[in-house]
Amino acid sequence: MTGPRNFIKVIDSTGSSRRFKATIDPEGEGAGRESHRKEEIKQYFRSFLWSLIFTTPVFLTSMVFMYIPGIKHGLDTKVVNMLTIGEVIRWVLSTPVQFIIGRRFYTGSYKALRHGSANMDVLIALGTNAAYFYSVYTVIRAASSPDFEGTDFFETSAMLISFILLGKYLEVLAKGKTSEAIAKLMNLAPETAILLSLDEEGNVISEEEIDSRLIQKNDIIKIIPGAKVASDGFVLWGQSHINESMITGEARPVAKRKGDTVIGGTVNENGVLHIKATKVGSESALAQIVRLVESAQMAKAPVQKFADRISKYFVPLVIMLSFSTWLAWFLAGKLHGYPESWIPSSMDSFELALQFGISVMVIACPCALGLATPTAVMVGTGVGASLGVLIKDGQALEGAHKVNCIVFDKTGTLTVGKPVVVNTRLLKNMVLHEFYELVAATEVNSEHPLTKAIIEYAKKFREDEENPAWPEARDFVSITGHGVKAIVRNKEVIVGNKSLMLENNIVIPVDAQDMLTETESMAQTGILVSIDGEVKGVLAISDPVKPGAQEVISILKSMNVRSIMVTGDNWRTASSIASYAVAMVGDGINDSPALLAADVGMAIGAGTDIAIEAADIVLMKSNLDDVITAIHLSRKTFSRIRLNYIWALGYNILGIPIAAGALFPSTGFRLPPWIAGAAMAASSVSVVCCSLLLKNYERPKKLENLEIGGIQIE
């Protein structure tokens, strides 16, 4: 089998390793994304730090030192005409903040406007430029005029940029935590693995520690106690218990022995195992889960369209409101529409109006609206993955919270999906193990799902043999939907339902009829066995109901979710549930069309086969209580999204009028632009933090007392 390990060995064997060395890229796709996120955090932190270094003296010279007589006198010293040392210092220090540190806002504005839209960067660029260039105007006027007295707003532009960069830093820091689920999943893979070399007889020749990324299909890997399983595969030798909670959410360690499958990234609890790798690299269950969670976090939920529609008109509306605010206050001042006592001593009516206009522009926050849905979806899908509930996209998450009707596929979903023989009644004097010899020999060539149950039960009478050889069956015939017949030991054996017996003119005794009626009343399948034209016995086969199924249905009822069981296509049932938001729960084997047709399709018991295309939500375990977890988690996520929208809209609806000076006439309270900018940054951070609270999600308490234990058949 060819793989990366072979390529590296071939390259090294050519002798070219003196010039260069072949190795696996340490920065894989996932690692690259993680390093990009860390670099983004570093960039914002560095930008904020440099901004703070320049902004602090600007703030001190304009807001603090003016109240210290000695320093104030020095700052008020004239340089040229009315231009003071303080104004020069503020101009020099705020310029790099505006154009070097704050260049990202110009770049973002240009890109947005080039594509015919406006974003938060446009508002920041307009607001800070208005403050900065008006201040430059006052500096030029002061330097050229012996009697000009004006106020600069260099501290406004510098502090605005500093607070917004702080907000952005906190935002990317918090957003990074929303994708922690992916990072944790990626860290499950062990760094190294022990590769075994075997001889032709299967004996271990040598052991070699290799990079786990160099594992190839069909490699034999040794897993020691306490180590992580290095690859998906199956057990060749040994037995142990493996903790699969990090992949499937299953709390209890799972027993593993020869032939059992194992999942890469899980932890070996005790014994030593030798496994054969079957799925490596991007094919592994862990890699598929990471891809699925990543795509879910990138996909837009339909509810996001609401924010997109608002954002489309938000920025132009804010610019218009900002200009209207400035114009209204400016005209009111010029026309003496308010007392002159309202104007601060350091300003005139134009500057007061400019402050209100800039405050409106920078307090408005479309970012909070834009972050409301994706951050909650990212956290919600990550939490789901840690619980073994894989939600494929935002649409599935949104659909699940609306579900008020669940259709359960019976076989393999409400039931275990493994039929077993629960009763045998012999109608004639016959030894039980001889009876099952004939039945098993007849059934062994059949592919019917019930065949395995009969064969497994028959093996109990041949406990001394692991794979017993059954007597030869001649003239085997399978009658679809009815049963099978064959000649075994010169006896004609027919195994099947009542119709098959009647077709072969076999009389069904009253005792057999009574037992068939009894089995059907207990939701079991009755099978008749005829030997040489005479019914000799009746088998009762049952597919046991999963433990906890009844309690799960009861809990769903308390959540106002209707539950329906289907065992086949039923038009009347389909018509009756057409008006509901329907979730279909199946095992993904024979119910893919139904999973696709439902509003939300849930595949249960997927195990390592998490790439079930038909399902919107994949439940890794076979526990029905995960259906409740999926619906409950989606409801919690969407209540968080609603809360985010209420906060984001409420903040803008209240904040913009206050920034425009709605409270100023009655209370004298106004928001300086730098405080408005800080409020805007805080609003985005608060939305992200609100979404992060979903990380504390706990399953419904009712599920904690729900016993999903083993199955006992009598």
**Would you please indicate which residues are annotated as catalytic (active-site) residues?**
409
Q: What distance in Å separates the CA atoms of residue 224 and residue 398, rounded to the nearest whole number?
A: 43
Which residue has 């299967």 as its token pair?
Answer: 202
Nearest to 25 by CA among 13, 9, 8: 8
Report the Cα–Cα distance between both ends of the chain, in Å, rounded: 48
Nearest to 702 by CA among 565, 553, 600: 553
Q: At what angle do helices 349-363 and 625-659 cross, to 10 degrees?
A: 170
For residue 297, give the 3-state DSSP assignment: helix
Q: How many CB atoms lie within 10 A of CB 265?
A: 25
Q: Which run of H or of E encompasses 278? A: strand 273-279
Q: What distance in Å separates the CA atoms of residue 710 and residue 108, rounded to the nearest whole number?
A: 59
Look at the chain and count its residues. 714
Which residue has 């619980």 as its token pair?
Answer: 387
Q: What distance in Å separates the CA atoms of residue 128 and residue 406, rounded to the nearest whole number?
A: 54
Q: Who's near 678: CB < 8 A, 6+ residues apart?
A: 163, 167
Q: What distance in Å separates the CA atoms of residue 546 and residue 709, rounded to the nearest whole number?
A: 9
Cα R_g (the chain), whole angstroms = 37
For residue 197, give the 3-state DSSP assignment: strand
Q: How many CB atoms lie within 10 A of CB 343?
A: 16
Contact 230, 212 (CB under 8 A): yes
Structure tokens at 84: 């003071």
Q: What distance in Å separates the CA atoms of residue 467 and residue 421, rounded to the nearest whole number?
A: 19
Nearest to 515 by CA among 423, 433, 430: 423
Nearest to 590 by CA among 569, 616, 611, 562: 569
Structure tokens at 266: 């899980």
Distance set, CA 451 to CA 2, 410, 426 (Å) = 40, 19, 19
Q: Which residues pair with 255 in a beta bridge?
A: 241
Q: At what angle do helices 120-144 and 154-178 cross, to 10 degrees?
A: 160
Contact 587, 417 (CB under 8 A): yes
Phi, psi angle pair for 59, to nearest 5°: -65, -45
Nearest to 102 by CA among 77, 128, 73, 67: 128
Which residue has 């409420």 as its token pair?
Answer: 650
Q: What distance in Å separates the CA atoms of residue 638 and residue 691, rounded to the nearest whole number?
A: 10
Q: Who's near 68: CB < 8 A, 6+ residues apart?
A: none
